[in-house]
């Protein structure tokens, strides 16, 4: 069940026959995949965000959280996913925290996002990695003007983004079977990101999805996403510099639980400014940075603002372990949590 699956495109010496078969299958699957769209309904909303919902330092209660936890609830903006036609909010895995919904596609598919700006400011969605036309770039800048519909979505307005997860968005030949990309609002991009308008996209390489309707990669059992970012809540005052993983500080991030024997893929992303030099570190296990097949074995992964990295882990060491940034100042400020192998 937990064996690694390595696909070999050619296994036969009957080259001509094999080539014909592979080409036929390749074109057939491409035709199907290219026609496929994955639709999402996403609203931007104003919320209260609690960086420490447990109300305490869950790693070392006696040490407290001061000054960072003296105030730990702030007004934020978030991307929230809804069912078709903005029916009901779609719950997401608790570990994703402040991150917006995870968008997925298999190489060759389109991602279609129906966006509704339910806030008091113009916003947008700008995706990294995917292929788009100017109208769907989602980035506003003064000289671009009115030609770009999706670059400036006024309060109350809607826009439908169309992005293609083409070959250029999919993992390269020697990479892991899925790639992670950031998306974020890009009207006032610095403020929009600090406000919390951030999410991730996962593109699975053609032939590596679990199925036509399940784009998750089939060579892993579980996936986590972790955003390392210092949110600045008080114009640079130390107590407002929230050194968070997915918007949680001092061990308040829940849900990083795996079963022994599982193959776990971690999507690691960073954002922020020059203080956002992070080194994600796991206790208890090592990882393959870049994926099973080509990875570098390590237990520390370097992240800069807008880094997007994929690492694979064979979870075989039961225990409750720390997962934290290894930068000294960031440890002090609570950029840490626990993860568990059952």
What's the min distance (Å) between Cβ of 337 and Cu ion?
Answer: 13
Q: Restricting to residues 167-226, name those near Cu ion by CB under 5 A.
A: none
Integer Cα distance of 333 and 258 in angstroms: 26
Question: Which of these, 180, 177, 181, lies nearest to 209 by C-alpha position?
Answer: 177
- Give the nearer residue to Cu ion in terms of CB position, either 139 or 277: 277
Nearer to Cu ion, 19 or 300 (CB): 300
Q: Which of 106, 151, 325, 341 touches Cu ion by CB under 5 A?
A: 325
* Part of the chain binding Cu ion (CB under 5 A), chosen from 31-39, 43-51, 102-110, 322-330: 322-330
Work out whether 327 is an interface residue with Cu ion (CB under 5 A): yes
Judged by CB under 5 A, which stretch of 102-110, 134-142, 249-257, 323-331 contacts Cu ion? 323-331
- Identify the H or E element spanning 322: strand 319-325
In the complex with Cu ion, the residue whose CB is nearer, 164 or 278, is 278
What distance in Å separates the CA atoms of residue 219 and residue 289, rounded to the nearest whole number?
15
Name which of residues 35 to 54 contact Cu ion (CB under 5 A).
none
- Nearer to Cu ion (CB atom), residue 220 or residue 325: 325
Question: Candidates 152-160, 212-220, 293-301, 326-334 — which segment interacts with Cu ion by CB under 5 A?
Answer: 326-334
Residue in 129, 330, 338, 339 binding Cu ion, rule: CB under 5 A: 330
Smallest gap from residue 332 Cβ to Cu ion (A): 10
CA 204/CA 104 separation, integer angstroms: 8
CB of 303 to Cu ion, least distance (A): 8
| Residue whose token pair is 């070959």 | 167
Burial environment of residue 340 by CB neighbours within 10 A (0 to 12, 13 to 18, 19 or more):
middle
Q: How far is the CB of 308 from Cu ion (least distance, A)?
A: 16
Omega before residue 131 within 30° of 0, cis: no
Token pair 């107590």 is found at 239
**Residues contacting residue 205 through CB under 8 Å, at least 6 positions apart:** 107, 170, 171, 177, 178, 217
Residue nearest to Cu ion (CB): 325
SS3 state at 303:
strand
Does the protein bind Cu ion through residue 309 (CB under 5 A)? no
Please select the residue that binds Cu ion; options are 126, 186, 206, 278, rule is CB under 5 A.
278
Nearer to Cu ion, 309 or 330 (CB): 330
Provide the mask over 112-151, with x wherever binding to Cu ion is found by CB under 5 A and - wherever it is not. ----------------------------------------
Tell me how far apart the alpha carbons of residues 160 and 304 are, in angstroms, rounded to a whole number. 31
Give me the least distance between CB of 52 and Cu ion, in Å please: 17
Kindly state the tokens that stand for 89: 């909010």
Is 76:51 a contact under the CB 8 Å cutoff? no
DSSP state at residue 197? -
Interface residue list for Cu ion (CB under 5 A): 278, 325, 327, 330, 335
């Amino acid at each position: 069940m937990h064996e690694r699956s390595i696909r070999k495109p050619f296994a036969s010496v009957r080259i001509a026959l094999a080539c014909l078969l592979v080409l036929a299958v390749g074109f057939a699957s491409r035709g199907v995949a290219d026609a496929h769209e994955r639709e999402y309904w996403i609203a931007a909303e104003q919320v209260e965000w609690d960086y420490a919902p447990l109300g305490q330092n869950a790693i070392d209660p006696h040490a407290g959280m001061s000054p960072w936890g003296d105030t730990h609830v702030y007004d934020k903006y978030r991307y929230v996913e809804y069912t078709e036609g903005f029916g009901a909010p779609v719950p997401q895995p608790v570990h994703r925290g402040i991150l917006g919904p995870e968008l997925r596609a298999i190489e060759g598919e389109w991602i279609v996002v129906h966006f509704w700006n339910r806030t008091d400011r113009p916003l947008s969605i700008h995706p990294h990695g995917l292929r788009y036309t100017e109208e769907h770039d989602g980035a506003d800048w003064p000289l671009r003007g009115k030609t770009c519909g999706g670059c400036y979505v006024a309060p109350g307005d809607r826009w439908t983004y169309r992005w293609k997860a083409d070959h250029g968005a999919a993992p390269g030949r020697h990479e892991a079977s899925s790639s992670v990309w950031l998306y974020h609002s890009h009207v006032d991009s610095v403020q929009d990101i600090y406000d919390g308008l951030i999410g991730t996209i996962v593109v699975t390489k053609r032939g590596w999805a679990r199925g036509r309707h399940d784009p998750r990669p089939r060579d892993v059992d579980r996936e986590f996403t972790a955003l390392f970012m210092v949110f600045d809540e008080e114009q640079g005052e130390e107590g407002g510099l929230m050194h968070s993983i997915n918007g949680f500080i001092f061990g308040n991030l829940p849900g990083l639980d795996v079963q022994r024997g599982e193959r776990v893929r971690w999507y690691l992303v960073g954002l922020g400014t020059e203080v956002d030099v992070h080194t994600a570190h796991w206790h208890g296990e090592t990882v393959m940075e870049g994926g099973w097949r080509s990875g570098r074995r390590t237990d520390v992964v370097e992240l800069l603002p807008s880094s997007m990295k994929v690492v694979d882990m064979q979870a075989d060491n039961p225990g409750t372990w720390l997962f934290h940034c290894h930068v000294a100042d960031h440890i002090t400020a609570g950029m840490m949590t626990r993860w568990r192998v059952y």
